[in-house]
Amino acid sequence: MEIILNLLVILFVPFLMIGVIRKTKAFWGGRYGASIFQPLYDFVKLIKKDYVISKTTTKVFRLTPVIMLSSILFSSLFVPMIGSKTIINIPCGFLIFAYILGFSKFFSLISAMDTGSSFEGMGASREACFTTIVEPAFFMLLASIMALTGNYTFDSLTKIIEFSGSYGVLICIFAILVLFIMILTEGSRVPVDDPATHLELTMIHEVMILDNSASDLALISWSVAIKMMLLSSLIGAIIIPQDLSLGLSTLLYLLLMFIISIVIGTVESAMARIRMSHVFEFVFIMSSLALIVLSLVVARMFGG
Protein backbone atom coordinates (compact mmCIF):
# COMPACT_ATOMS: atom_id res chain seq x y z
CA MET A 1 0.00 0.00 0.00
CA GLU A 2 2.68 2.49 1.02
CA ILE A 3 4.72 1.54 -2.01
CA ILE A 4 1.84 2.32 -4.34
CA LEU A 5 1.21 5.58 -2.54
CA ASN A 6 4.87 6.48 -2.83
CA LEU A 7 4.88 5.77 -6.54
CA LEU A 8 1.84 8.00 -6.99
CA VAL A 9 3.62 10.68 -5.01
CA ILE A 10 6.65 10.48 -7.31
CA LEU A 11 4.37 10.74 -10.31
CA PHE A 12 2.40 13.79 -9.31
CA VAL A 13 3.78 15.67 -6.33
CA PRO A 14 6.91 17.07 -8.07
CA PHE A 15 4.73 18.87 -10.62
CA LEU A 16 2.44 20.16 -7.93
CA MET A 17 5.38 21.44 -5.92
CA ILE A 18 6.64 23.44 -8.91
CA GLY A 19 3.08 24.65 -9.46
CA VAL A 20 2.72 25.77 -5.86
CA ILE A 21 6.09 27.55 -5.96
CA ARG A 22 5.01 29.45 -9.05
CA LYS A 23 1.64 30.25 -7.54
CA THR A 24 3.36 31.59 -4.42
CA LYS A 25 5.63 33.77 -6.53
CA ALA A 26 2.63 35.03 -8.44
CA PHE A 27 0.88 35.83 -5.17
CA TRP A 28 3.83 37.86 -3.86
CA GLY A 29 4.14 39.59 -7.21
CA GLY A 30 0.49 40.63 -7.13
CA ARG A 31 -0.57 38.37 -9.99
CA TYR A 32 -3.10 35.58 -10.26
CA GLY A 33 -0.59 33.20 -11.77
CA ALA A 34 -1.19 29.97 -13.63
CA SER A 35 -3.00 27.01 -12.12
CA ILE A 36 -0.86 24.80 -9.88
CA PHE A 37 -1.44 22.00 -12.40
CA GLN A 38 0.25 24.00 -15.17
CA PRO A 39 3.63 22.17 -14.88
CA LEU A 40 1.72 18.91 -15.40
CA TYR A 41 -0.02 20.29 -18.49
CA ASP A 42 3.34 21.55 -19.74
CA PHE A 43 4.79 18.08 -19.27
CA VAL A 44 2.01 16.51 -21.31
CA LYS A 45 2.38 19.20 -23.97
CA LEU A 46 6.13 18.68 -24.23
CA ILE A 47 5.77 14.92 -24.47
CA LYS A 48 3.56 15.38 -27.54
CA LYS A 49 5.94 17.75 -29.32
CA ASP A 50 8.50 17.02 -32.03
CA TYR A 51 12.22 17.06 -31.43
CA VAL A 52 14.74 19.52 -32.70
CA ILE A 53 18.21 18.07 -32.29
CA SER A 54 21.42 19.94 -32.90
CA LYS A 55 23.68 18.39 -35.53
CA THR A 56 26.77 18.79 -33.37
CA THR A 57 25.43 16.48 -30.67
CA THR A 58 26.12 12.78 -30.28
CA LYS A 59 24.31 9.86 -28.67
CA VAL A 60 25.26 11.13 -25.23
CA PHE A 61 22.92 14.03 -25.72
CA ARG A 62 20.03 11.75 -26.70
CA LEU A 63 20.61 9.29 -23.88
CA THR A 64 20.97 11.83 -21.10
CA PRO A 65 17.32 12.63 -20.40
CA VAL A 66 16.51 8.93 -20.07
CA ILE A 67 19.53 8.30 -17.90
CA MET A 68 18.70 11.26 -15.72
CA LEU A 69 15.11 10.25 -15.17
CA SER A 70 15.83 6.57 -14.60
CA SER A 71 18.63 7.24 -12.17
CA ILE A 72 16.50 9.72 -10.24
CA LEU A 73 13.64 7.23 -10.13
CA PHE A 74 16.02 4.50 -8.99
CA SER A 75 17.47 6.71 -6.28
CA SER A 76 13.97 7.46 -5.07
CA LEU A 77 13.68 3.83 -3.98
CA PHE A 78 16.16 4.55 -1.21
CA VAL A 79 14.43 7.62 0.16
CA PRO A 80 11.89 7.53 2.97
CA MET A 81 8.66 9.11 1.85
CA ILE A 82 5.15 8.49 3.18
CA GLY A 83 5.25 6.85 6.55
CA SER A 84 9.02 7.31 6.44
CA LYS A 85 9.28 3.93 4.77
CA THR A 86 11.88 3.30 2.11
CA ILE A 87 11.18 0.81 -0.65
CA ILE A 88 14.70 -0.61 -0.59
CA ASN A 89 16.06 -0.45 2.91
CA ILE A 90 19.71 -1.51 3.00
CA PRO A 91 22.59 -0.24 5.11
CA CYS A 92 24.34 2.75 3.59
CA GLY A 93 21.55 3.23 1.07
CA PHE A 94 22.27 6.92 1.34
CA LEU A 95 25.60 6.35 -0.42
CA ILE A 96 23.84 4.69 -3.31
CA PHE A 97 21.30 7.50 -3.30
CA ALA A 98 23.99 10.20 -3.43
CA TYR A 99 26.09 8.54 -6.07
CA ILE A 100 23.22 7.73 -8.34
CA LEU A 101 22.30 11.38 -8.16
CA GLY A 102 25.93 12.13 -8.94
CA PHE A 103 25.76 9.78 -11.90
CA SER A 104 22.76 11.64 -13.32
CA LYS A 105 24.53 14.94 -12.67
CA PHE A 106 27.56 13.65 -14.55
CA PHE A 107 25.45 12.86 -17.56
CA SER A 108 23.70 16.19 -17.49
CA LEU A 109 27.13 17.87 -17.49
CA ILE A 110 28.57 15.94 -20.41
CA SER A 111 25.33 16.31 -22.33
CA ALA A 112 25.62 20.07 -21.94
CA MET A 113 29.23 19.95 -23.14
CA ASP A 114 28.15 17.70 -26.01
CA THR A 115 26.26 20.53 -27.66
CA GLY A 116 29.47 22.49 -28.13
CA SER A 117 27.75 25.70 -27.09
CA SER A 118 29.83 28.16 -25.09
CA PHE A 119 26.85 28.94 -22.87
CA GLU A 120 26.21 25.34 -21.98
CA GLY A 121 29.85 24.71 -21.17
CA MET A 122 29.70 27.67 -18.84
CA GLY A 123 26.55 26.34 -17.19
CA ALA A 124 28.14 22.90 -16.79
CA SER A 125 31.21 24.35 -15.11
CA ARG A 126 29.04 26.31 -12.68
CA GLU A 127 26.88 23.30 -11.86
CA ALA A 128 29.90 21.05 -11.36
CA CYS A 129 31.44 23.60 -9.06
CA PHE A 130 28.41 23.82 -6.77
CA THR A 131 28.06 20.06 -6.66
CA THR A 132 31.57 19.69 -5.30
CA ILE A 133 30.55 21.87 -2.37
CA VAL A 134 27.15 20.31 -1.80
CA GLU A 135 28.30 16.69 -1.72
CA PRO A 136 30.73 16.77 1.24
CA ALA A 137 28.28 18.78 3.31
CA PHE A 138 25.52 16.26 2.62
CA PHE A 139 27.75 13.37 3.62
CA MET A 140 28.94 15.14 6.74
CA LEU A 141 25.35 15.67 7.82
CA LEU A 142 24.23 12.10 7.21
CA ALA A 143 27.39 10.58 8.67
CA SER A 144 26.96 12.61 11.84
CA ILE A 145 23.37 11.55 12.23
CA MET A 146 24.20 7.94 11.55
CA ALA A 147 26.98 8.02 14.08
CA LEU A 148 24.47 9.38 16.55
CA THR A 149 21.77 6.80 15.95
CA GLY A 150 23.98 3.86 15.06
CA ASN A 151 21.68 3.07 12.18
CA TYR A 152 23.22 3.17 8.72
CA THR A 153 20.10 3.66 6.66
CA PHE A 154 17.98 6.72 5.96
CA ASP A 155 15.83 5.54 8.86
CA SER A 156 18.34 7.16 11.14
CA LEU A 157 16.85 10.53 10.14
CA THR A 158 13.62 9.51 11.82
CA LYS A 159 15.37 8.68 15.04
CA ILE A 160 17.23 11.90 15.72
CA ILE A 161 14.89 13.05 18.48
CA GLU A 162 14.97 9.63 20.12
CA PHE A 163 18.76 9.53 20.34
CA SER A 164 19.82 13.09 20.86
CA GLY A 165 17.97 14.01 24.02
CA SER A 166 18.25 17.67 24.88
CA TYR A 167 20.18 18.43 21.67
CA GLY A 168 17.36 17.03 19.54
CA VAL A 169 15.70 20.26 18.53
CA LEU A 170 18.97 21.96 17.65
CA ILE A 171 20.23 19.08 15.57
CA CYS A 172 16.89 18.88 13.76
CA ILE A 173 16.87 22.60 12.97
CA PHE A 174 20.39 22.60 11.59
CA ALA A 175 19.84 19.42 9.64
CA ILE A 176 16.70 20.89 8.07
CA LEU A 177 18.57 24.07 7.16
CA VAL A 178 21.32 22.04 5.48
CA LEU A 179 18.74 20.11 3.50
CA PHE A 180 16.84 23.27 2.61
CA ILE A 181 19.92 24.93 1.10
CA MET A 182 20.56 21.68 -0.74
CA ILE A 183 17.02 21.82 -2.15
CA LEU A 184 17.59 25.39 -3.37
CA THR A 185 20.91 24.47 -4.95
CA GLU A 186 19.97 21.15 -6.50
CA GLY A 187 16.54 22.36 -7.53
CA SER A 188 18.09 25.42 -9.24
CA ARG A 189 16.02 27.93 -7.30
CA VAL A 190 16.66 31.57 -6.33
CA PRO A 191 19.05 32.71 -4.78
CA VAL A 192 21.38 30.16 -6.38
CA ASP A 193 19.84 30.05 -9.81
CA ASP A 194 16.95 31.83 -11.47
CA PRO A 195 14.54 29.39 -13.13
CA ALA A 196 12.50 32.22 -14.67
CA THR A 197 15.20 34.16 -16.46
CA HIS A 198 15.71 34.33 -20.21
CA LEU A 199 19.31 35.55 -19.89
CA GLU A 200 21.62 32.75 -20.99
CA LEU A 201 24.67 34.33 -19.41
CA THR A 202 23.27 34.22 -15.90
CA MET A 203 21.69 30.77 -15.97
CA ILE A 204 23.05 27.62 -14.41
CA HIS A 205 20.66 24.73 -14.80
CA GLU A 206 18.47 26.23 -17.51
CA VAL A 207 21.40 26.99 -19.79
CA MET A 208 22.53 23.35 -19.68
CA ILE A 209 19.28 22.22 -21.22
CA LEU A 210 18.96 24.99 -23.81
CA ASP A 211 19.29 22.49 -26.66
CA ASN A 212 16.87 19.95 -25.23
CA SER A 213 13.38 19.98 -26.58
CA ALA A 214 10.10 18.09 -26.51
CA SER A 215 10.05 14.93 -24.41
CA ASP A 216 13.75 15.22 -23.62
CA LEU A 217 13.05 18.53 -21.98
CA ALA A 218 9.98 17.11 -20.26
CA LEU A 219 11.96 14.20 -18.78
CA ILE A 220 14.72 16.51 -17.54
CA SER A 221 12.31 18.98 -15.95
CA TRP A 222 10.48 16.13 -14.30
CA SER A 223 13.64 14.57 -12.92
CA VAL A 224 14.82 17.88 -11.46
CA ALA A 225 11.43 18.31 -9.83
CA ILE A 226 11.58 14.77 -8.43
CA LYS A 227 15.03 15.44 -7.06
CA MET A 228 13.70 18.47 -5.24
CA MET A 229 10.86 16.40 -3.81
CA LEU A 230 13.20 13.61 -2.68
CA LEU A 231 15.34 16.08 -0.76
CA SER A 232 12.19 17.57 0.75
CA SER A 233 11.17 14.06 1.80
CA LEU A 234 14.35 13.85 3.85
CA ILE A 235 13.11 16.86 5.81
CA GLY A 236 9.82 14.99 6.14
CA ALA A 237 11.64 11.99 7.57
CA ILE A 238 13.11 14.20 10.28
CA ILE A 239 9.91 16.01 11.21
CA ILE A 240 7.00 13.64 10.67
CA PRO A 241 6.56 11.17 13.54
CA GLN A 242 6.74 7.55 12.52
CA ASP A 243 4.03 5.59 14.26
CA LEU A 244 1.01 7.26 12.69
CA SER A 245 -1.80 5.76 10.69
CA LEU A 246 -1.26 5.65 6.95
CA GLY A 247 -3.89 8.29 6.25
CA LEU A 248 -2.46 10.73 8.74
CA SER A 249 1.11 10.29 7.64
CA THR A 250 0.09 10.73 3.98
CA LEU A 251 -1.71 13.91 4.91
CA LEU A 252 1.20 15.20 6.94
CA TYR A 253 3.62 14.34 4.16
CA LEU A 254 1.61 16.19 1.51
CA LEU A 255 1.13 19.12 3.87
CA LEU A 256 4.87 19.30 4.42
CA MET A 257 5.60 19.27 0.69
CA PHE A 258 3.06 22.06 0.33
CA ILE A 259 4.68 24.12 3.08
CA ILE A 260 8.18 23.60 1.69
CA SER A 261 7.01 24.76 -1.73
CA ILE A 262 5.47 27.87 -0.23
CA VAL A 263 8.67 28.59 1.69
CA ILE A 264 10.74 28.19 -1.48
CA GLY A 265 8.36 30.47 -3.37
CA THR A 266 8.51 33.07 -0.63
CA VAL A 267 12.30 32.99 -0.50
CA GLU A 268 12.34 33.47 -4.25
CA SER A 269 10.04 36.45 -4.00
CA ALA A 270 11.77 38.19 -1.13
CA MET A 271 15.35 37.79 -2.24
CA ALA A 272 17.34 38.86 -5.23
CA ARG A 273 19.55 36.27 -6.75
CA ILE A 274 23.05 36.22 -5.32
CA ARG A 275 25.91 37.40 -7.51
CA MET A 276 27.54 34.39 -9.17
CA SER A 277 30.85 34.84 -7.37
CA HIS A 278 29.03 34.84 -4.03
CA VAL A 279 26.91 31.78 -4.70
CA PHE A 280 29.79 29.59 -3.55
CA GLU A 281 29.73 31.32 -0.19
CA PHE A 282 26.01 30.73 0.07
CA VAL A 283 26.34 27.04 -0.76
CA PHE A 284 29.22 26.81 1.68
CA ILE A 285 26.81 27.72 4.48
CA MET A 286 25.66 24.11 4.08
CA SER A 287 29.08 22.87 5.12
CA SER A 288 29.22 25.19 8.12
CA LEU A 289 25.78 24.08 9.27
CA ALA A 290 26.71 20.42 8.75
CA LEU A 291 29.79 21.03 10.89
CA ILE A 292 27.57 22.41 13.62
CA VAL A 293 25.46 19.27 13.45
CA LEU A 294 28.63 17.22 13.68
CA SER A 295 29.83 19.12 16.72
CA LEU A 296 26.43 18.80 18.40
CA VAL A 297 26.54 15.07 17.80
CA VAL A 298 30.03 14.88 19.26
CA ALA A 299 28.87 16.88 22.25
CA ARG A 300 25.92 14.54 22.72
CA MET A 301 27.95 11.34 22.39
CA PHE A 302 30.98 12.27 24.40
CA GLY A 303 29.89 15.20 26.50
CA GLY A 304 26.91 13.50 28.07
Partner 1 sequence: MNWIKLKNNGKIDINSIPTLKIEQLREEIINLNLRPVAFFGKDWGNNTTKLFVVLADDKNSELNVSSAIFNQDEKCYESITQVLPSFHIFEREFYEQFGIKPLNHPWLKPLRKNQKDYKFFEMEGEEVHQVAVGPIHAGVIEPGHFRFMCNGETVYHLEIMLGYQHRGVEDLMIKHPSNRLAESICGDSVIANNLAYSKVMETLCDCKVSKRAQLIRTLALEMERAAIHIGDLGAISGDIAYLMGASVFGATRTLVINTMLEFSGSRFGRGLIELGGVNFDIDNEKIKRALETLTKVEKDVDRMVKTMLKNTSVMSRLEKTGVVSKEKAEQIGLVGMAARACGLTLDSRFDFPDECYKFLALPRKMFKGKGDVNSRFKLRHQEAMESLDISKRILEMLKNTLKEEVKTNCELNLPKDTMAISIVEGWRGEIVHIALTDMNGTLSKYKIKDPSFNNWYGLALAVRNNGVSDFPLCNKSFNLSYCGCDL
* Least distance from partner 1 to the Cβ atom of residue 256, Å: 24
Q: Site residues for partner 1, window 14-53 (CB under 8 A)?
A: 25, 28-31
If one counts every other C-beta atom within 10 angstroms of the C-beta of residue 121, the result is: 16
**Taking the CB of residue 162, how many other CB atoms lie within 10 A of it?**
11
Closest CA to 207 of 197, 192, 216, 215: 197
- Residue 202 CA, chain-centre distance (Å), reads 21
Determine phi and psi for 224, rounding to 5 degrees.
Answer: -65, -40
Identity of the residue, 44 or 196, whose beta carbon is nearer to partner 1 in the bound complex: 196
Burial class (CB in 10 A: 0-12, 13-18, 19+), 199: exposed
Q: CB of 125: closest distance to partner 1 in angstroms?
A: 8
| Contact characters 164-203, partner 1, x per CB under 8 A | --------------------------xx--x-xxxxxxx-
Check if the beta carbon of residue 117 is closer than 8 Å to that of residue 265: no
Query: By CB neighbour count within 10 A (0-12 exposed, 13-18 middle, 19+ buried), where does 144 fall?
Result: buried
Q: How big is the site for partner 1, counted in residues (CB under 8 A)?
A: 31
Q: How far is the CB of 196 from partner 1 (least distance, A)?
A: 7
E strand or H helix at 292, and its extent?
A: helix 276-303
User: Least distance (Å) from partner 1 to the CB of residue 204?
Assistant: 9
Measured between alpha carbons, how far is 9 from 26 in angstroms, rounded to an integer? 25
User: Rounded distance, CA 136 to CA 98, Å?
Assistant: 11
Stretch that binds partner 1, among 71-79, 95-103, 149-157, 269-277 (CB under 8 A): 269-277
Please state the closest distance from residue 10 (CB atom) to partner 1, in A.
Answer: 29
Among 45, 48, 49, 275, the residue binding partner 1 under the rule CB under 8 A is 275
Residue 169 or 201 with smaller CB distance to partner 1: 201
Site for partner 1 in 116-135 (CB under 8 A): 118-119, 121-122, 126
Is 114 an interacting residue with respect to partner 1 (CB under 8 A)?
A: no
Region of 3-11, 42-50, 158-166, 264-272 interacting with partner 1 (CB under 8 A)? 264-272
Where does this chain bind partner 1 (CB under 8 A)? 25, 28-31, 118-119, 121-122, 126, 190-191, 194, 196-202, 268-278
